[in-house]
Amino acid sequence: MDRLSALLNLFQPEARHVSQSNLNDGALSVPQDDCSRLYLVKSGRLQLTTPYDEQTLNCQCGDLIWLPRGDAHQLAELREELREDGINFDQQPAAVVTQIDIAFLHREPNQELNLLQSTLPALLYLPASESQISNLKPLVELMFQEAGQQRCGHTTVVNRLAEVLLVNLLRHLMANQKVATGVLGGLSDLRLARAMTGIHDTPGENWTLEELANTAGMSRTAFSKRFREVVGFTPADYLAHWRMSIACKKISSGTESIAAIADELGYQSETAFRRAFRKVTGHPPGFYKKGGSFSEIPKEDTFEAEAVT
């Protein structure tokens, strides 16, 4: 499978809401949420403020802003009182922005299991000069057209279009190495990407550090150091988190037994799987069953070591 498809298949980004706002009507305050927020500036100029770090970003027509983790923020129209020659800026177009809310699998209570969303930067910004020369331009223009009109099938069109836009944005970020760390940073590094794709495609394999390093075409030491610096996990921890993300999805669907999931993901016993699951998620597998109750956890304090060492 390619670098991106496994992430999309597992974490399933889904457009929940698409709207268009005229900031001339007032500032837009958005509270913390587990949905990603993607903004496309259709016209005018605006300022985005994030209270958690008091960061401000001035944006203009054609810019793209993404808050992957749904941090609280405010959008306000940015108007200058006078030009240099003293003439008012009354002719400046109103600030109009299209807002796209995108939900991922593995939101609360374990958002950290979404290895894509949780390791992205708090804020990603593509200026108009960059988005206009990428494959994003026709999608952005089509989104402006559809979001501003209530035609037949409006909701279905804008939601699907938003999801296609997100995939192309991720492609652009990887191809141009716009994200240096986290899972997307790792997948932007062609050597690390080979090892990560191996884990994604065959999570149940008895991966060792040497095998992963060989897949990446690197020495064990260089691979281990580079992996941790870029991805933010050791290879063993990344493998464990990827396996448990899969396990949570399967447990939630209720289509497979715990024993079958444990065997599929490469654990020697159901007990070993339960211990590893609790270690990574902080919960027993039963926590994720639809309508289920907490399962009992083995009382042993030790955990079986992962294959990657």
Q: Which of the four pLDDT bands, split at 50, 70 and 90, describes residue 289? A: confident
- For residue 68, pLDDT over 60 is answered with yes
Q: Which of the four pLDDT bands, split at 50, 70 and 90, describes residue 88? A: low
Lowest mean pLDDT among 4-13, 61-70, 110-119: 110-119
Q: Please report the domains of the chain, with CATH numbers, ordered by start residue.
A: 5-176 (2.60.120.280), 189-288 (1.10.10.60)
- For residue 64, pLDDT over 50 is answered with yes
Amino acid letter, 20? Q
What is the model's pLDDT at position 299?
33
- For residue 89, pLDDT over 60 is answered with no
Question: What does the DSSP assignment read for the chain?
Answer: --TTHHHHHHH--EEEEEEEEEGGG--EEE---SSEEEEEEEESEEEEEETTTTEEEEEETT-EEEETT---EEEEE---SB-TTS-B-TTSPP-EEEEEEEE-SS-TT-GGG-TTGGGS-S-EEE-HHHHTTSTHHHHHHHHHHHHT---TTHHHHHHHHHHHHHHHHHHHHHHTT---SHHHHHHHSHHHHHHHHHHHH-TTS---HHHHHHHHTS-HHHHHHHHHHHHSS-HHHHHHHHHHHHHHHHHHHT-S-HHHHHHHTT-SSHHHHHHHHHHHHSS-GGGGSTT--PPP-------PPPS--
What is the model's pLDDT at position 254?
86
- For residue 291, pLDDT over 70 is answered with no
What is the model's pLDDT at position 294?
32
What is the model's pLDDT at position 304?
38
What is the model's pLDDT at position 255?
85
How far apart are the C-alpha atoms of 282 and 278, rounded to whole Å? Answer: 5
Which has more confidence, 131 or 110? Answer: 131
Shortest CA distance to 18 belongs to which of 153, 138, 122?
153
How far apart are the C-alpha atoms of 92 and 90, rounded to whole Å? Answer: 6
Which has more confidence, 262 or 81? Answer: 262
- For residue 302, pLDDT over 70 is answered with no
- For residue 293, pLDDT over 50 is answered with no
pLDDT digits (tens, 9 = 90+) for 141-185: 999 998 877 788 889 999 999 999 999 999 999 999 999 999 999
Mean pLDDT of 119-125: 93
Mean pLDDT of 243-255: 91
Compute the Cα dihedral for 250, 255, 258, 263 and give only its sign. negative
How far apart are the C-alpha atoms of 39 and 61, rounded to whole Å? Answer: 11
What is the model's pLDDT at position 307?
52
Tell me the pLDDT of the chain averaged across its residues: 87
Question: What is the bridge-based pairing of β-strands 64-67 and 14-22?
Answer: unpaired
Mean pLDDT of 103-111: 67
Helices 154-175 and 136-147, packing angle to 10 deg:
160
What is the model's pLDDT at position 308?
62
Which range, 44-53, 78-87, 129-138, is most confident? 44-53
